[in-house]
Amino acid sequence: MPSPESSNARYPTGRAAFPHRDLLGISQLERHEILFLLDEAAQWVAFDPREARRSDSVADPLAGLTIINAFFENSTRTLLSFEIAGKRLGADVVNMHAAQSSVRKGETLIDTALSLNAMRADAIVIRHASSGAVRLIADKVDCPVLNAGDGSHEHPTQGLLDALTIRQALGLGAGSDLNGLRVTICGDVMHSRVARSNILCLTALGADVRVCAPPALMPAEVEAMGVAPFHDFDAALAGAEVVMMLRLQQERMSGQFIPSPREYRHLFGLTPERLARAAPAALVMHPGPMNRGVEIDSSVADLPGRSLITRQVGNGVAIRMACLEVLTRPARKIEGWA
């Protein structure tokens, strides 16, 4: 397990610390850029808007800016998290839902992108059911674009918030990586953009990542991502210090990928007995929403002192605040970024 003194990472100053206009995926980021975003987010973890409202020194760094949350796919946690993040930074936030968009009337995604660009937003957050759709929009607009999940491709802010949550739970400070940390990710790896972003993020930070899934839900190319694949959950859990469960994404499946939810729980569900096979005091994570009694038992999901699931939700706001604040610095002409 890493220790606070295991890494004293340094990253460039000014715009060189994060030179990207957009955040489309963890795959575009260097290790020091990931650490930079984690360290920027750490300052927002303890931010209490209620306390800030009672203060005479409330800072709204994004005051006067407009953020559009364009969600072409249903979401609860991610949409609310981005909305809260933008508002806590002082931005005007507009939510666009797929059911209310012209895409439902036959408008192409490119025409939608051109329309959004014509509105001169300062940042656009996109969630879409098709892999690559966010990049397509990013290529057509003039402002920063943040990927809030595109098909089975990536969900970069989820990967970042999970890394932040792990680092926080282990008591690791600014600049710390996760060298040698044993992490097991189990579930529907095939369809999970969360799994992909976490694999990219955690391996970039030096973690030893194992993935476990039924054969039908394990991507063929997963070993090329630097992880060890398992089909035996008990074997994958041995010595794991963090266990991350994934939701069965039935909406992305066509055909029979698992025999039944009951059989899936028997082989791949995280029960108290199964968790005992991991390292002592192993931490439990889940990106939500959870299928309790299928991929994870309630007694594990709510395990005091070891379940990080609600902390993940809270840290999601902090990560998204950091990403919005960093990507809009050029528009705000911050010294060294404009």
Segments making up each domain of the chain, as ranges: 14-153+315-327, 156-312
User: Is the pLDDT reported for residue 257 higher than 90?
Assistant: no
User: Is the pLDDT reported for residue 110 higher than 70?
Assistant: yes
d(CA 267, CA 40): 40
CB 172 within 8 A of CB 8: no
Q: What is the mean pLDDT of residues 32-60?
A: 82
Question: Is 127 an annotated catalytic residue?
Answer: yes
Question: Is 77 an annotated catalytic residue?
Answer: yes
Any idea which fold 14-153+315-327 has? Rossmann fold (3.40.50)
Q: Which of 10, 50, 53, 105 is catalytic?
A: 105
In this chain, the answer to whether the domains covering 14-153+315-327 and 156-312 adopt an identical fold is yes
pLDDT value for 57: 54
Q: Which of 88, 112, 127, 286 is catalytic?
A: 127
Question: Is 333 an annotated catalytic residue?
Answer: no
d(CA 302, CA 80): 22
Question: Is 271 an annotated catalytic residue?
Answer: no
Q: Kindly give, in sequence order, each residue whose CB lies less than 8 Å from that of residue 333, ignoring residues fewer than 6 positions away.
A: none
Residue 109: band (very low, low, confident or very high) from pLDDT cuts 50, 70, 90: confident
CATH of 156-312, one of 3.40.50.1370, 3.40.50.970, 3.40.50.720, 3.40.50.300: 3.40.50.1370
* Single-letter amino acid, residue 321: M
pLDDT value for 3: 41
Could you tell me the CA-to-CA distances from 129 to 72, 132, 148, 153 in Å, in that order? 7, 9, 11, 10
d(CA 269, CA 266): 6
Q: Which of 153, 155, 286, 311 is catalytic?
A: 155
Q: Kindly give, in sequence order, each residue whose CB lies less than 8 Å from that of residue 38, ignoring residues fewer than 6 positions away.
A: 160, 163, 164, 167
Question: Is 262 an annotated catalytic residue?
Answer: no
d(CA 243, CA 209): 10
